[in-house]
Amino acid sequence: MPGQAEGFYAKGMEAFKNGNTLGALAFFERAFNLEPENPTYQSFLGICIARERGKISEAINLCEKAVQSEPRKIESYLNLGRVYLNAGFRSKSVEVFRNGLMIDNKNPEIIAELQALGLRKKPVFQVLSRNHILNKYLGIILSRLGFRGNK
């Protein structure tokens, strides 16, 4: 049965990468039914359930199980973050994406998700407001000189 589950997963990934989450959902469900403890199947089933059925709590549960089972697998963080984003929990999705970056700080998909959210760097002087003239102009100068990090 594992070979059959892998086949369903491969077909699901092909559909998922082509933007066909409904088709992917059918294949991921079949793979998950054959191997319900497989974290990868849980994670991708979760993202598809969130997008196609709107069952956010079920999707979060599946994706969180996947992260707990394989905490070094970056796709699980990416899918969990996307589920939270799909549900409108922006701050929670940012937290999950950042946790994923702690594992792989050069992952282009997570970086793209964070950039799409339009995250801003912390103010230079956190005791002053973001709009304060010192924060604004010193931040611009330091960024142009390459002294500002991504956090």
What is the pLDDT at residue 151?
Answer: 46
2-119 under CATH 1.25.40.10, yes or no: yes
Dmax of the chain from CA atoms?
A: 64
Per cent of the chain over pLDDT 70 is: 95
Q: Which residues touch 124 (CB under 8 Å, ≥6 apart)?
A: 134, 135, 138, 139, 142
Instruction: Indicate the helix (H) or strand (E) that contains 100.
Output: helix 90-103
Question: Average pLDDT of 42-48?
Answer: 98
Q: Answer whether residue 15 shows pLDDT above 70.
A: yes
Burial label for 88, CB within 10 Å (0-12, 13-18, 19+), is exposed
User: What predicted TM-score, i.e. pTM, was given to this entire model?
Assistant: 0.78
pLDDT of residue 143: 82
Dihedral angle of Cα 114, 118, 121, 125, to the nearest 10 degrees: -150
Q: Who's near 40: CB < 8 A, 6+ residues apart?
A: 9, 66, 70, 73, 75, 76
Please write the tens of the pLDDT for every residue from 65-123.
999 999 999 999 999 999 999 999 998 999 999 999 999 989 999 999 998 988 667 78
d(CA 34, CA 51): 22
CB 148 within 8 A of CB 121: yes
Sketch the domain layout of the chain as residue ranges: 2-119, 120-151
Specify the pLDDT at position 1.
61
Is pLDDT larger for residue 42 or for residue 120? 42
Enumerate the H helices of 54-89 as residue ranges.
Answer: 56-69, 74-87
DSSP assignment letter at 125:
S
